[in-house]
Structure 1
Amino acid sequence: MDTWPAPFRETSKGKKLQRQSSHQIVIEQRATHINGSERLALVDSGCTQTLVSKICCATWKAERIPVLTVGGGSLASCGVSIIHASINDGPAVAVRALVVERELLGYDLLLDMDLITQLGGITVDRTGKVQFSRCEEHVCAAITLDEPEFPAEYDRNTNAWTASWKWSNDQPPISLRNRLSEYPSPMWLREQYEEELQTWIDNGWLFPYTEEEFGHPRGLIPLMAVVQETKQKVRPVLDYRELNEHVDPYTARADVCALKLREWRQ
């Protein structure tokens, strides 16, 4: 594939079709079933919302949503539709896609991060081949990490990482003092803050805590809203300060972290 799709960014209406930095992007063409018919899709992890040609959709809700490309071009969708997509006869998943008038670069579907997530995520081998975690057979060796701050282990059956803390003097706290789940934030940023939190929920990063499954809670990490002024974004951030009192600090990369934090705040 010689021509890459134009990178999308957020429009004035707040539609989040934001391209990530180029080193994070995975791109590959793939045969896909859309609403029961086989179509050609372009797997593109650099965009947040899936786009589909209207020839794949029997019905859709008419809605003109302008999308700007980083290169300065424009693309207008003609509506939105709930599509059902599957890979290699795997289970079909539903996703809300933007409908466009014509094929994009010759593809019926730009299969982006919202649909990639619904399909269980992807792995990329050393040759660059893309495999869908829930839909294709692949072998992944067990991965374990032992960092100065934490150990972590990857479970290929659940496609998930499990990490734990390394406590000071090997003694975890009996419980944390904090009882506040969230710091108060100004009303003018609540909408953006709650939108970002919803993406955490949609991606499975934030979910209800149940004592039946996890036992009696021993700590509560409060959330707060942080304004990233250069990107005009509001980010939910977890306040780990009290928890960090019980963890030995590892300062080998402190200067790098401080530099990155300054860059992030600018």
Structure 2
Amino acid sequence: RSGRHLGHDILRGYRILFDRGELVLGACAEARREVEVVKGDNFEVVFDGVSWTAHWQWKEEPRLRNRTSQYEFHKEVEKWVERGWLKPRSPNYGGLLPLMAVEHKRKGKVRPVLDFRELNEFVSCSVADADVCGDKLRSWMQFPENSALLDLKDAYMQIRVAGECSSAMRVQFNAEHLELTRV
């Protein structure tokens, strides 16, 4: 063909040619079948000419002990949504907090837990605050006036999150963005 061709190499030897507004695809006849091996201290990765395959050299066959039930975890998170502790929001705000499952073996329950470590970097803290915490808890245990008992069954979700703070406390669950309204 006559005319000016602009070519760009892309994956697996294909070449795209632009000719007077036409898109012409042509395949290169080159096929690479060389075997490549990358070895590490406890692994080996082999390229067979088509794909890469990793092999680990285990000390012994892995037998993972994680028996956390995803069904229990999902049920608990759905309960948080039903109670309004997590509210659906549009996914237009920055990052997300990691939502993890923690198993309480003694109680036989699985609880959702949010990882606040990154968010904590935005709060100024003093180690002196830790000393005051114990004293404050002891004084609260004396039930001064204007105090109320917490429901110990779900005590961890009884403090409301201020609206201006809740947008930074988002998680993703079942492909939906949710905002934490209680801690």
> TM-score, normalised to structure 1's length?
0.23
Q: Which structure's relative contact order is higher, taking Cα pairs within 8 Å and 6+ residues apart?
A: 2
> Which one has a bigger Cα radius of gyration?
2
> TM-score, normalised to structure 2's length?
0.33
